[in-house]
């Protein structure tokens, strides 16, 4: 499993000295998200518990060693789009088992975001992680014999 994408993001954050630059980088990450399919903007894909509008879609890719999940996401808020980009770098195209074992709090702590998010954004981030983990649980349950 390759974690080079998330490692690159962490390294980039560590190179930035001040939080204005880090927020700009976070917004830039959000701008790099692929276009989100308009037909996927629905109540079914909306993440509950976020102050901003957030949509998240997972696709399960069957594999002999267990299901892998790919994610796409979007938000109407620039910083939240950046958070989605970090989550996708951490979770997308990874086995469900690895998704469930990952520690997003450690990643967000390492880049310092944990201490620089408003309580509302922290709650929204937690809701997105819970949704991703629920999708991983569901993929594993469906793949079980």
Catalytic residue numbers, as ranges: 50
Q: What are phi and psi of 81, to 5 degrees?
A: -60, -40
Sequence-separated contacts (24+) of 9-12 with Cβ below 8 Å: 9/86, 9/89, 9/111, 10/107, 10/110, 10/111
């Amino acid at each position: 499993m390759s974690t080079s994408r998330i490692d690159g993001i962490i390294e980039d954050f560590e190179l930035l000295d001040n939080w204005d630059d880090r927020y700009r980088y976070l917004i830039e990450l959000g701008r790099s998200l692929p276009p989100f399919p308009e037909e996927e903007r629905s109540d079914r894909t909306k993440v509950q518990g976020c102050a901003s509008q957030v949509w998240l879609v997972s696709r399960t890719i069957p594999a002999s060693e267990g299901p892998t999940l790919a994610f796409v996401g979007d938000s109407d808020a620039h910083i939240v789009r950046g958070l989605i980009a970090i989550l996708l770098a951490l979770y997308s195209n990874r086995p469900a088992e690895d998704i469930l074992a990952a520690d997003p709090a450690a990643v967000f702590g390492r880049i310092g975001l944990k201490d620089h998010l408003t309580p509302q954004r922290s709650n929204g981030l937690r809701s997105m992680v819970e949704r991703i983990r629920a999708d991983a649980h569901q993929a594993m349950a469906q793949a079980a014999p």
